[in-house]
Amino acid sequence: MTTTTQQLDVELNEEGFFVHPEEWTEEMVPELARREGIDEITDAHWTVIRYMRAAFAANGTGPTVRALGKSSGVTIMELYHLFPKGPAKIAAKIAGIPKPRGCI
């Protein structure tokens, strides 16, 4: 693990997802986002991140891009604009939840 990861003092898996989602706090978001190449967190980013946390709390798993597009209030086009490297995957990393699994 890199030194910057140690600064956050959380355990991440090989792919960079939180091993213990309960260790996540909102204060970590700017640093987590920066590591994914997102320098400015907009309100829309927060909408998605909070939706990821809520969905994980309710279902024990994060939503796929399709589910996000249908339920988060952010369109799929906008989701890819906010998280170009994969909305569900990157938002899950920043939201401190496991990688969503699902083919669609």
Partner 1 sequence: MKDKIEKVSIIISKGSLEGIYPGLIMANGARAEGIEANLFFTFFGLDAIHAKRHEHIKLATVGNPGLHFATWAGGLPGVSSLMTHYMEHKMEALDIPSIPDFMEMIYETGAGIFACKASVDLFGLEKNDLIPQVQDIITVGEFYDMAAGGEIIFT
The amino acid sitting at 45 is H
Closest separation in Å from C-beta 74 to partner 1: 11
Tell me the Cα Rg of the chain: 13
Which of these is catalytic: 6, 15, 40, 103?
A: 103
Out of 21, 62, 87, 96, the only residue in the binding site for partner 1 (CB under 8 A) is 87
Closest separation in Å from C-beta 80 to partner 1: 5
Spatial contact of 96 and 56, defined as CB atoms under 8 Å apart:
no
| 89 near partner 1, judged by CB under 8 A | yes
The set of residues, in sequence order, having a beta carbon less than 8 Å from that of 86 and lying 6+ positions away, is 65
Closest separation in Å from C-beta 23 to partner 1: 24
Out of 10, 32, 33, 67, the only residue in the binding site for partner 1 (CB under 8 A) is 67
- Distance from C-alpha of 94 to C-alpha of 71, rounded to nearest angstrom: 19
Q: Dihedral through CA 10, CA 6, CA 14, CA 98, nearest 10?
A: 20
3-state secondary structure of 18: strand
Stretch that binds partner 1, among 2-10, 22-30, 40-48, 79-87 (CB under 8 A): 79-87
103 is catalytic: yes
> What residue ranges bind partner 1 (CB under 8 A)?
64-67, 69, 75-77, 80, 84-90, 103-104
